[in-house]
Amino acid sequence: MHEFRYRRNTLYCEDVSVFDLADRFGTPLFVYSYHTVIDHYVKLQKAFGPANPLICYSVKANSNLAVLKALIDKGAGLDVVSGGELFRAFKAGCPAQRIVYASVGKTEGEIEEAVRRGILFFNVESTPELNAINRISKKLRKVTAVALRINPDVEPKTHKFITTGKITNKFGIDFASAESLLLKAHAFSHVTIKALHIHIGSQITESGPFVSAISRMVRLIRRLNNRGVRIEYLNIGGGLGIVYDKEAPQTASAFASKILPLIKESGLKIILEPGRFIVGNAGILVTKILYVKETRRKTFLIVDAGMNDLIRPALYDAYHRVIPVKVKKSRLHTKGIIADVVGPICESGDFLAKDRKLPALHEGEYLAVMGAGAYGFSMSSNYNSRRRAEEVMIVKDRVFVIRKRESLEDLVRNENIPPFLLGL
């Protein structure tokens, strides 16, 4: 469920009119529902209650400090994948012992900062990375906890660009190599292997791939126990899908009912890393129609939001529902249009929706792109020297600006023209 609904033919976020927000703050504009974010977090927490999990929200989905702080205050940890996300985690007040750190390409500086901070553990993706963490920890005279990320080689039935658990992907360590590392863990003087980790992909709507991957992990844990190797945590990652169009994703309770019996016998502490499931349907992108362009073959609604604001359609051919912010009664019995919703970017791939059935719309009207809370602003850019959008969070009838729209000066703030080009 989410908190975006029509009232008196106008779209609302909680108790605030989206039309009024667009008029007040301009567009493009990201709008987030606080209560949707928290509701989705609590549903996972309750569903996995018997296991008392640590839920480490995946920062990459939406890294705004207000979103992070809202979840941290409810007991969430954070899953980070870069030094910048680690910085955000501490800026938002997350305790170090509720932070796990993934990424196949952690730099020495990033590793050193996380070791100094004493995070819960690194999700280690390769033997060279494990060696680097051991060496850096030794230099700092610390013993660092890590999890080995296993690549279970399962088919997650999602888009190939967001598949991470196949053996052909760059992520994780195969079972045989992981088992070998665990059996010689004593060779790493300043690293303790405390956990196993999997993450098989994103936007997965069926339980089968999770069941398959976790079953393989349970068998590995059993083999390790028989050989005297003990671990403390099992991190089952994230990847739960949401509704963008006609998907019928599993609920938190349905997912837990499949997974809890598998992990119960392990006796391990459980970590989850949801991102999209928590914030995906908690946010929308509001955009304004600049022009209605009619050609012999197509109708284009040219809007002021583009692929620099929401790249998912261009990158993955991803589907987002597009709906009018105001539904005018005069149009209810009139024939609609089939249109492409396209942005102002100088690329043919700059579209938000294709061949959509919409009511007849006019210049100046607002559209809402649904399901834009995850991988929306966090993947946005300044391509074409466009300013990134404003972000607001709604809490019942209160409105909070959680990121101001960039200024033109922000676009060039860190740039310099060499003196020789200035004739100096």
118 and 164 in a single domain? The answer is yes
Give strand ranges (E) for 343-397: 351-358, 366-369, 390-395
**pLDDT score at 387:** 98
Residues 194, 146 contacting (CB under 8 angstroms)? yes
Answer whether 325's CB lies under 8 Å from 286's CB: yes
- Round the average pLDDT of the chain to a whole number and report it: 91
Question: d(Cα 216, Cα 179) in Å, to the nearest integer?
Answer: 13
- What's the pLDDT tens digit per position in 306-361? 999 999 999 989 999 999 999 987 666 578 899 999 999 999 999 999 999 999 99
Concerning whether 13 is annotated as a catalytic residue, the answer is no
List of E strands, 240-282: 269-272
> Per residue in 175-214, pLDDT tens?
888 888 888 888 899 999 999 998 877 677 677 788 888 8
- Total of domains in the chain: 2
Decide: 378 and 403 in contact? Cβ < 8 Å: no
Cα(119)–Cα(94) distance, integer angstroms: 10
Helices 175-183/127-139 angle, 10° precision = 30
Among the listed residues 13, 56, 94, 346, the single catalytic one is 346
Asked if the structure places residue 10 within a domain, the reply is yes
| 26 lies in the same domain as 78 | no
Q: Would you say 293 and 300 are in contact if contact means Cβ atoms under 8 Å apart? A: yes
* Domain identity same for 275 and 162: yes
Residue 243 and residue 273: Cα distance in Å, rounded? 19
In a domain, 38, yes or no: yes
Distances (CA, A) of 176 to 104, 182, 220, 227: 19, 10, 10, 14
User: Is 422 a domain residue?
Assistant: no
Q: Give the β-pairing of 16-17 and 269-272.
A: unpaired
C-alpha–C-alpha distance, residues 72 and 87, integer Å? 15
pLDDT tens digits, 272-319:
999 999 999 999 999 999 999 999 999 999 999 999 999 999 998 999
Residue 414 located in a structural domain: no
Give the CATH number of the domain where residue 354 resides.
Answer: 2.40.37.10
Q: Judging by beta carbons within 10 Å of its beta carbon (0-12, 13-18, 19+), is residue 119 exposed, middle or buried?
A: buried
Q: Is the pLDDT of residue 160 over 50?
A: no
Q: What is the pLDDT of residue 161?
A: 44
Asked whether the predicted pLDDT for residue 29 surpasses 70, the reply is yes
pTM of the model: 0.92
